[in-house]
A and B are shown apart, each in its own frame.
Chain A
Amino acid sequence: MHDLTPTPALGAATQTIGTVTVAENTGVALASVAARTGGENTCTKVLKAVLGAVPDVGRTVLHDPEAGFWMGPDQWMIGAPMDTHEDIADQLKAKLGDAASVTEQSGAWVAFDVTGERMPDMCEILCNIPIRKMVAGDVRRTMIHQLGCFVIRRAAYDHIRILGPRASAKSLHHALITAATSVA
């Protein structure tokens, strides 16, 4: 048997610059759920069963093991630990059937965890979201370094998770490191 290891989006080492730490998170499995016309009620029921609640506009439901956030009208992204939920798209499709279109998203995104005292300063350099007004669980889609990214404000006061396009993982990482350096 070959000793194979999964390839992360970037494989970047965790870097701490000043007070800010930028770490690639390779442990998130993702799938998107888009309600089909007429399937909205089924979607609501299934998401409630999976997450405990349906994510409201611009909000995350932080739940264990599955968590989810609102992406757009009748569209949500569901995430869970890669170790236990690598087939999250199949699991959701089995529950949702024809009520929604489910797309595997683990291979489309790179996740970075940014933590530290000066995270808000760094965030303000990167994108135009009102990071200081956002509370735990708020999520915004925005542009970072010309890339469409999701920025999720996590439970810890100094923690954001950034989801960006996986194919541009290196460019996004470069932007994060540059911003972290300039606020250090």
Chain B
Amino acid sequence: MIIDHPLLGPRDSAEFTYMGDARLIDRPDPDGADAAAAFFDYAYLRDNPAGWHRELWFHEAGDRSWLVVTRNTLTHEISKVELAREVARAKGRSK
């Protein structure tokens, strides 16, 4: 599997480590009324889709950036690769 890194170009997936569902970017508000339930969901509950999935990959043997990779779990086709920090910033997180 080849991951087309937005900065470095196509790289072997062996250089990366899978770090989980990209929903982990959306950390619940710890001061929210339903914080306990929200964090239970955030920490333990995962969808396991057969098909397109947005996931976090860490470029461990590369530039150490975190990526959001949109990957088809059935075919391993990758349709989109973004820097995770840009995804988070687009949602208004930490500028």
* B95 lies within 8 A of A142 (CB): no
- For residue B60, which residues in chain A have a CB less than 8 angstroms away from its CB? 148
Interface of chain A, helix or strand or loop or mixed? strand
Interface string of A55-90 (1 = CB under 8 A from B): 001100000000000111101000000000000000
Q: Report the bound CA distance from A28 to B7 in whole Å.
A: 28
Q: Which of B8, B64, B94, B95 contacts A58 (CB 8 A)?
A: B8
Question: What distance in Å separates the Cβ of A111 from its nearest Cβ neighbour in chain B?
Answer: 19
Q: Report the bound CA distance from A10 to B95 in whole Å.
A: 43
Question: What distance in Å separates the Cβ of A150 from its nearest Cβ neighbour in chain B?
Answer: 11
Q: Which of B12, B14, B63, B95 contacts A72 (CB 8 A)?
A: B63
Question: What distance in Å separates the Cβ of A112 from its nearest Cβ neighbour in chain B?
Answer: 18
Question: What distance in Å separates the Cβ of A38 from its nearest Cβ neighbour in chain B?
Answer: 7
Total number of A residues with any Cβ neighbor in B under 8 Å: 15
Q: How many A-B residue pairs have CB under 8 A?
A: 34
* A141 lies within 8 A of B61 (CB): yes
- For residue A7, which residues in chain B have a CB less than 8 angstroms away from its CB? none
Q: In the complex, which residue of chain B has the Cβ closest to the Cβ of A144? A: B61
Total number of B residues with any Cβ neighbor in A under 8 Å: 15
* B63 lies within 8 A of A37 (CB): no
Interface of chain B, helix or strand or loop or mixed? loop
Question: What distance in Å separates the Cβ of B43 from its nearest Cβ neighbour in chain A?
Answer: 26
Interface check A5, CB cutoff 8 A: no
* B61 lies within 8 A of A143 (CB): yes
* A141 lies within 8 A of B12 (CB): no
* B61 lies within 8 A of A142 (CB): yes
Q: Report the bound CA distance from A61 to B51 in whole Å.
A: 44
* B65 lies within 8 A of A57 (CB): no
Q: Report the bound CA distance from A160 to B60 in whole Å.
A: 22
Q: Report the bound CA distance from A145 to B39 in whole Å.
A: 39
- For residue B61, which residues in chain A have a CB less than 8 angstroms away from its CB? 141-143, 148
Q: Can you give 30 A-B contacts (C-beta < 8 A)? A: A37-B94, A37-B95, A38-B95, A57-B8, A58-B7, A58-B8, A70-B63, A71-B63, A71-B64, A72-B63, A72-B64, A72-B65, A73-B7, A73-B63, A73-B65, A73-B83, A75-B64, A128-B12, A128-B14, A140-B62, A141-B62, A141-B63, A141-B64, A142-B15, A142-B61, A142-B62, A143-B15, A143-B61, A148-B60, A148-B61
Known: A72-B65, A141-B64. 9 other contacts (CB 8 A): A37-B95, A58-B7, A58-B8, A72-B63, A72-B64, A140-B62, A141-B63, A142-B61, A142-B62
Interface residue ranges, A against B (CB under 8 Å): 37-38, 57-58, 70-73, 75, 128, 140-143, 148
